[in-house]
Amino acid sequence: MAINYKAELVGVLGYPVAENPTGVMQEAAFAALGLNWRYLTMEVKPENLADAIRGVRALGLRGINLTIPHKVAVMALLDDIAPDAKVIGAVNTVYRAGDRLIGTNTDGKGFLRGLRDEAEIDPKGRRVAVLGAGGAARAITFELAFAGASELVVINRSVERGQQLVEALRQDTSAAIEFVPWSSTYVVPQAIDVLVNATSIGLYPDVEALPDISLDQARSDLFVCDVIPNPPDTRLMQLARSRGLRTLNGLSMLVHQGTIGFELWTGQAAPEAVMKEALRKAFEMS
């Protein structure tokens, strides 16, 4: 057998990016499958993004992740964008097809995979309330609409940003869409089947923060999700469990979007359990 010392490279571009944990789970996955691949965590300022993408091409990277603030700006620098990512308006994963760089968005898909596989909930026909209107909320709401959710309620502090998301959803999906300004405590109505926190409220180091909501009128089988992976057991998760409600934490979405990227890059099935355990240990140490 010929000796090959060449490692295949993937990574993440962001600014700042030092606390991004994606490399932990991807490196664990490469090791588990015996792949000579490396995941690089690279800090790139916005004004240097175009040069960084030229570097991705020149160095032959097999793919990259994009995080804040590059998810929108990168779209103009790629050869093609997946149709759903075009509608969502953001790219968080790029994979190579020959010499072409293709952008897609795995955030919402990762959320849906966790909802279906771990919680065994099909969003089709469900009424879902989503806290937030940022990048995560945008990806999640669009994917829920594509999956057949019957009604989506967007709750956000910024009226302008919330209305922009609602208008985009109404234009590109057939779900019933409502916007609720988050000017006071949001009382989750009994009609809602699934509640999703797509904000950064509760993210480390602000682990005691809790979204300003009330579950007093919520249905007894409300399902509560959080996109925050660190800590996995947020105050929202604790509140929901204290009411006897089922939950899905943010570790699920982070792992599942990562497995989709892994599969796009390597062409192999991702070792999901290995990836989740690697992240769990990393977060325990943080």
Rounded to an integer, what is the distance from CA 99 to the centroid of its chain?
27
The 3-state DSSP class for residue 107 equals helix
Place of tokens 């309330």: 129
Tell me how far CA of residue 112 lies from CA of 1, 20, 74, 86, 198, in angstroms.
42, 22, 24, 18, 13
- Cross-strand partners of 41: 12
What residue ranges in the chain does DSSP mark as E strands?
A: 8-14, 37-43, 63-66, 80-81, 93-97, 100-104, 127-131, 151-156, 176-181, 186-187, 194-197, 213-214, 223-226, 246-248
Check 6, 45, 71, 276 and give the catalytic one: 71
Place of tokens 């240097």: 48
- Is residue 71 among the annotated active site residues? yes
Q: Which two tokens stand for residue 79?
A: 């050869």
Task: Give catalytic residues, as residue numbers.
Answer: 71
